[in-house]
Structure 1
Amino acid sequence: MQTFTVHPVGVVNGGGEGPAQLRIDPAYRDGLRGLEGFGHAVVTWWAHEVDDPELRALVDAGRPYARLDHDLGIFATRSPLRPNPLALTVIELAAVDADVGLVETPYLDAADGTPVLDLKPYTPSIDRIEHPIVPAWCAHWPESAEASADFDWPSEFRF
């Protein structure tokens, strides 16, 4: 099995289900040029708080969702507990300052201090699926991130 090395491009300040700033390291700040023209970006981050050899061996997710009547494999969940604790979140870009390496967003589910691995602009022609197909147990979930804000997410989970 091959091994890969990743290098963070920055770190999360704030976050954890609320407003956050991505502080981009000086070596990568020029990479932010032009991002301010987009309304959203995809952030890839390392779920460092669950980066544990035992958790990396996890492939059975059990029944993490309330409406499930069967177990799921880890690849059928968005859990940060996975063989490689990579996570991604689509964020709204509230502000981008390439000169100081700052990206502000009103919501990011990554915790303070989380390593940021990459940023990509969200583009509907690549990232939006007009007719997504999901299993029955989650078909009642909101159809957009905007609608998710008012959804009763705590009632959906068993953890």
Structure 2
Amino acid sequence: MDAPLRPGEVVADGLAEPDGPRLRIIGRIRSRWGAGDCPRNIGTARAQGGVGKVELDPTFAPALDGLAVGQPVVLLYWLGGARRDLLRQSPRHIQGTRGTFAIRSPNRPNSIGLATVRITSLDVAAGTMGIDAIDCYDGTPLIDIKPWVERADLPPAR
């Protein structure tokens, strides 16, 4: 059952799916990267000037309201070409093997990529957002955008 709407809330018709978990592609990430040259992480993408752009499906454009240029956001995206069956992996940059959940490899049961980026431009009406860097192929499906919030996203001090 849907919770009642609060004042000012807006819903998109036909998007409710009561029959269980599903991913909805809300847009695409645009980058200069392809299969032969994509950096392995966001730090390398920044160092190589890998700026990007988010293009939302027009249905979701109003959801950008409240974001601002300069603000950090977390992008969640689908890495469709990755393996989904590896439980332990041997990355090139570390000695030995580690469990999939101990590394940031795209090869995981649900191939979801995550990057914390900074908004460089924003056009809510057009549903577009420039970002300072991204480490995925051009056209990668976007799953979600969340604001990065220090009080929520920094782990507690030891």
Q: Paired residue for 2:57, among 5, 25, 32?
A: 25
Give the superposition deviation at 1:129. Answer: 2.8
1:38–1:121 contact (8 Å) kept in structure 2: no
Indicate whether 1:40 and 2:72 are aligned.
Answer: yes
How far apart, CA to CA, are the structure 2 residues paired with 1:47 and 1:96? 24
How far apart, CA to CA, are the structure 1 residues paired with 2:142 and 2:121? 17
User: How many aligned positions are there?
Assistant: 124
Which consecutive residues of structure 2, in runs of 5 or more, have no partner in the other structure? 1-19, 34-44
SS in 2 for 1:91: strand
State the partner residue of 2:99.
73
Which consecutive residues of structure 1, in runs of 5 or more, have no partner in the other structure? 133-159
Indicate whether 1:13 and 2:41 are aligned.
Answer: no
How far apart, CA to CA, are the structure 2 residues paired with 1:36 and 1:113? 23
SS in 2 for 1:29: helix
Give the superposition deviation at 1:60. Answer: 1.0
How far apart, CA to CA, are the structure 2 residues paired with 1:126 and 1:15? 31
Written as runs of structure 1 = structure 2, the 5 A alignment for 1:115-130 is 115-129=141-155
2:75–2:114 contact (8 Å) kept in structure 1: yes
Give the superposition deviation at 1:36. Answer: 1.4
How far apart, CA to CA, are the structure 2 residues paired with 1:126 and 1:12? 25
How far apart, CA to CA, are the structure 2 residues paired with 1:64 and 1:73? 14
Larger helix proportion, structure 1 or 2? 1
Q: Which runs of 4+ in 1 moved over 6 A?
A: none
How far apart, CA to CA, are the structure 2 residues paired with 1:96 and 1:63? 36
Give the superposition deviation at 1:62. Answer: 2.3
